[in-house]
Structure 1
Amino acid sequence: MNPDIRRRIDDFRHRFGVELPILLAPMAGACPVALSQALANAGGMGAMGAVLSQPQDIGWWMAAFRAGASGPAQVNLWVPDPPPPRDAAAEAATRAFLERWGPPVPAEAGDAAPADFDAQFAALLDARPTVASTIMGVLSTEQARRLRDAGIHWFACATTLEEARQAQAAGADAVVAQGMEAGGHRGAFDAGRAEAQMTGLFALLPRLADQLDIPVIAAGGIADGRGVAAALMLGASAVQVGTAFLAAEESDIPDAWKQALADSEPEGTRVTRVFSGRAGRALDTAHVRAAEAGDAPRPRPYPVQRGLTAGMRRQAKADDRLETMQAWAGQAAWMARPGPAAGILRAMWQQAQALL
């Protein structure tokens, strides 16, 4: 292995307590404790996507994780957006459209609000994960100091060099370079700029690695050892993988979602706002296509749209109906394979080592 790559990997491993430079991406609603435990015990890092979680749930998740895992975990928080503008007529049009795809949508559904960020942050400090990670922005100087005082590392997701520089200046210990290939929500600091900042990982990654003084973690489109090796060669100190683990035995996503991954072509996913109001990459289902059509109402801002679609998404999960499911997936979804998560992780690293 190239000495520079080996040094970066070893520095990352020793600093953040992992054996392998492969981390589970924090996927809200798709990171059950069992999946994180399996990966942490196999040498990686577990993850909780806590954007939808109440503060007490963060403590519960970390306690359950520690009960069966010896490795580290990260807890991911969503830096709050400004309050969304409201438009009663536009929301009524969206409700009418959604009722063609799911149950009736009450008018108050759009009043949905995110969990209290300050309370989540306090709960994270109490829970003491190895890493606190953020998406959609950076922490304040005071919040970064409190993490340091608690011995918690901070990873900040970035989609551009400017965002990465902001994170480094704010005190982040590492930056997650999120390429456009990644499944789930785009991490753009400015919600309105997400679609304009669609840079592929292998263009974004070396740019950040060349300009930053802190480690860069590569995310987006990495689902086997070839992607891991390529990212490490381009300057990453580690990789963060999400979609590739969605088909694992320990994943608890609906069967229809799992089965659709293997049949998905790279162009079979789409960045869309139709589920939450924030841009995110999902499988290109019938509902997504209809909601993106020119005659469909435009999605409302986050979290209004998330509240409006909540009933449809719950019903889709209960019915195992892919057509209306919020099925986040990256462009490498076709590489997701069933089997124990630990085996998927080890095979990924073995292949990467052979290539390096």
Structure 2
Amino acid sequence: MPTALTDLCRHPIVQAPMAGGASSPELAAAVSTAGGLGFLAAGYKTADGMYQEITQVRGLTDRPFGVNLFMPQPELADAAAVEVYREQLAGEATWYETELGDTAGSADDGYDAKLAVLREDPVPVVSFTFGCPDRKTLQALDRVGTYTVVTVTTAAEARAAQEAGADAVCVQGIEAGGHQGTHRDDPHSDGTGAGVGLLTLIAEVREDVRLPVIAAGGLMRGAQIAAVLAAGAAAAQLGTAFLACPESGAHPLHKQALTDPLFTRTELTRAFSGRPARGLVNRFLREHGPYAPAAYPAVHYLTSPVRKAAAKAGDPQAMSLWAGQGHRLARQLPASGLMETLVAELAAARDQLNPSGAAGTGPLGSAS
């Protein structure tokens, strides 16, 4: 049966919510206006800051868009391990002439206040990362007409999202840039064997749940979008592909690094935030990644001043250069131009897959 996603965008392309400033109102509005589904990232913002960005998007487009929330995190940080890491980073603070951050920041990211705003003044879509809301929360959003999406990295997490009453799941493969949206951060699962590739994960989730699937992880070209749609996804979510757009709020050094020959690969690391996140391998990641504790968001607050000072100094070697495995395929196009290019590539790929011209499943596929 057709999914409700068909009411949200003309093309099966979702712009990933990228916390830290990349998902600007201008980017979200441009993607939505071009027929995709633009997203704001509420992570690390206050409830009022989130609301101000929502207001900006509404002033730029009349098309649907989404807002992503971080789920509150348990107080699991080992204070002693964080202090040891602080000592290891003392040289970074000295080099960049700054202080290390206060690790006593809130672990709930203003979650309840943001939910209150979104219930009182609803947006078309709300997605969740780092966990699954309870049924009561999802029902409250459903009552105000909001479509809900839960980010998952395993079939078990997808089952939990379905049982809680989510409308769809965003299936995040190990290829994805930025933070892995695992519902439980288990440091014992770190290592080269951690995580599942996107195509395999789509298949596993489709075996277990009936919810529409939004596929995320390393997608940069229209042919890749066609592949995940053929694998059963209803839409594809792209983050790194939109990072290089002029509307993106990412730092210019971050945008340049995506295709800079100096940065040849990505890794999952806890170095910058204390939670596994995929970024371009730079000096900071190499030197501190092996010693970073599983302590999110304490490590995020700890390293924030160093990352900002490095950016101000024009030094990408101590910035968190989040990027997916497909970063070398980034194109510096306006968001509308990138959307147009992706849609054309998707159409060409579909023609190759279906040369007879038989009827397909519609612009956003279907879920069964």
Task: Provide the TM-score with structure 1 as the length reference.
Answer: 0.91
Q: Which one of the candidate residues 241, 246, 250 is aligned to 1:249?
A: 246
Q: State the 1:13 CA deviation.
A: 4.4
Residue in structure 2 matched with residue 46 of structure 1 by the alignment:
38
Answer yes or no: is the 8 Å Cα contact 2:274–2:292 preserved in 1. Answer: no
Relative distance call for 1:128 and 1:234 in structure 2 (3 A) is: same
* Structure 1 position 159 matched with structure 2 position 153: yes
Q: Which one of the candidate residues 95, 105, 108 is aligned to 2:86?
A: 95
Answer yes or no: is the 8 Å Cα contact 2:215–2:228 preserved in 1. Answer: yes
Distance across 1 between alignment mates of 2:219 and 2:75: 34
Residue in structure 2 matched with residue 238 of structure 1 by the alignment:
235
Q: Which one of the candidate residues 221, 225, 243 is aligned to 1:224?
A: 221
Residue in structure 2 matched with residue 319 of structure 1 by the alignment:
313
Deviant stretches of 4+, over 3 Å:
102-106, 193-197, 263-267
Answer yes or no: is the 8 Å Cα contact 1:156–1:176 preserved in 2. Answer: yes
Aligned partner of residue 208 in structure 1, secondary structure: helix
Deviates more, 1:61-70 or 1:298-307: 298-307
Residue in structure 1 matched with residue 25 of structure 2 by the alignment:
33
Task: Kindly indicate which of the two structures has a greater share of residues assigned to helix.
Answer: 1
Residue in structure 2 matched with residue 57 of structure 1 by the alignment:
49
* Structure 1 position 82 matched with structure 2 position 74: yes
Relative distance call for 1:284 and 1:101 in structure 2 (3 A) is: same
Aligned partner of residue 19 in structure 2, secondary structure: coil
Give 5+ residue unaligned stretches, structure 2.
Answer: 351-368
Distance across 1 between alignment mates of 2:227 and 2:161: 24
Q: State the 1:104 CA deviation.
A: 4.6
| Equivalent residue runs for 1:328-347 within 5 Å | 328-347=322-341
The one-letter code of the counterpart of 1:252 is: G
Answer yes or no: is the 8 Å Cα contact 1:282–1:327 preserved in 2. Answer: yes
The one-letter code of the counterpart of 1:200 is: G
Distance across 2 between alignment mates of 1:260 and 1:266: 7
Percent sequence identity is 34
Give the aligned CA root-mean-square deviation in angstroms: 1.9
Residue in structure 1 matched with residue 126 of structure 2 by the alignment:
132
The one-letter code of the counterpart of 1:292 is: G
The one-letter code of the counterpart of 2:44 is: L
Encode CA deviations 1:153-196: one digit per residue, 9 max, x unaligned.
10000000000010011011000010000001001111016636
Answer yes or no: is the 8 Å Cα contact 2:40–2:67 preserved in 1. Answer: yes
Aligned partner of residue 76 in structure 1, secondary structure: strand
Relative distance call for 1:344 and 1:23 in structure 2 (3 A) is: same
Encode CA deviations 1:17-40: one digit per residue, 9 max, x unaligned.
211110110101210111111111
Q: State the 1:210 CA deviation.
A: 3.2
Aligned partner of residue 124 in structure 1, secondary structure: helix
Distance across 2 between alignment mates of 1:118 and 1:167: 19
Aligned partner of residue 267 in structure 2, secondary structure: strand
| Equivalent residue runs for 1:116-127 within 5 Å | 116-127=110-121
Q: Which one of the candidate residues 283, 286, 289 is aligned to 2:283?
A: 286
Give 5+ residue unaligned stretches, structure 1.
Answer: 1-6
* Structure 1 position 141 matched with structure 2 position 135: yes
Encode CA deviations 1:251-274: one digit per residue, 9 max, x unaligned.
121222111101369961010011
